[in-house]
Amino acid sequence: MTENPQQPYGVPGQQQPYGNPAFEGQMQGQGQQGSKYGTAAYDSGAFGQEVSEPKKFGLLKNLTLASLAIYVISSIVGFITSGNQDIMDATLDQQSEQLGIPREQLEEGMEIGTAIAMGTTVVTLVIAAAVYLLVYFGLRKSKNWARILGTVFAAIGTLFTLWGLTGLGVMMSVAAGLGIASIVVTVAFLVVNIWWLVTAFSKDVNAYLRARA
């Protein structure tokens, strides 16, 4: 029995793993596993992970509640304004002069209109509060439809608020306190609504809702 002169004494003849082309090729193949076709290795934890909520999305929910609170205050001020006798008299005088109709003929219509306006204010407040809460709880569940509904509601509320500014002139001339209160509430409502719209479509909120979808 002859010994292989290339092997150390007492060690059976075998190929060493290091320097073996076949072994090195196998190791390189294992190192490239998961990156075939030039893509990154598959990360099993990349899917199903909870997406953290950005600060702006929390701000969006807070702005929803702030807009609701201001709307409630605005409705209360509007309800008081509708029943203010001084404002009603000033409005009657103005309309009588502009339309050329005796004041007495306008009084009955004004009383009916005031009753309708006060009733409409209450009904509108209830409906608006329901919509606000629907948007808020939808946002708490990170639903994109809540953002869309809130956008439509904020846009409509902003337009009607701007239209309502036309009646502040008479109010300021008769009841300065109510007029100032109405201006403060109106400006606050507009600022919060515009802030809500900007936040709702910010980069962070868009990315978060896409990830949650």
Whether 48 maps to a domain, the answer reads no
Whether 20 maps to a domain, the answer reads no
Residue 175, pLDDT above cutoff 90: no
Q: What is the pLDDT of residues 16-60, one digit of tens each?
A: 444 454 444 444 444 444 444 444 443 333 444 567 899 999 999
Distance CA 15, CA 163 (A): 90
Q: What is the pLDDT of residues 90-133, one digit of tens each?
A: 666 666 666 667 666 666 666 777 778 788 888 999 999 999 99
Whether 122 maps to a domain, the answer reads yes
Distance CA 72, CA 128 (A): 9
**Whole-prediction pTM:** 0.66
Distance CA 195, CA 38 (A): 44
Whether 196 maps to a domain, the answer reads yes
In terms of residue numbers, what domain contains 123?
Answer: 63-212
Residue 13, pLDDT above cutoff 80: no
Rounded mean pLDDT of 202-208? 95
Distance CA 52, CA 147 (A): 18
What is the domain count for the chain?
A: 1
Does residue 32 come out as left (phi exceeding 0), alpha (psi in the -120 to 50 range) or beta? alpha
Whether 24 maps to a domain, the answer reads no
Percent of the chain with pLDDT over 70: 57
Between 76 and 1, whose confidence is greater? 76
Most confident of the ranges 1-15, 32-46, 68-82, 196-210: 196-210
pLDDT of residue 171: 58
User: With bands split at pLDDT 50, 70 and 90, how would you rate the model's confidence at 172?
Assistant: low
Whether 21 maps to a domain, the answer reads no
Distance CA 148, CA 134 (A): 12
Whether 30 maps to a domain, the answer reads no
Whether 202 maps to a domain, the answer reads yes
Q: Where are the alpha helices (DSSP H) in the chain?
A: 21-31, 55-82, 85-99, 103-140, 144-164, 168-174, 176-200, 203-212
Check if the beta carbon of residue 149 is closer than 8 Å to that of residue 138: yes
pLDDT of residue 11: 46
Q: How far is CA 137 from CA 28, 90, 158, 182, in A?
A: 53, 43, 22, 29
Residues in the chain: 213
User: With bands split at pLDDT 50, 70 and 90, how would you rate the model's confidence at 86?
Assistant: low
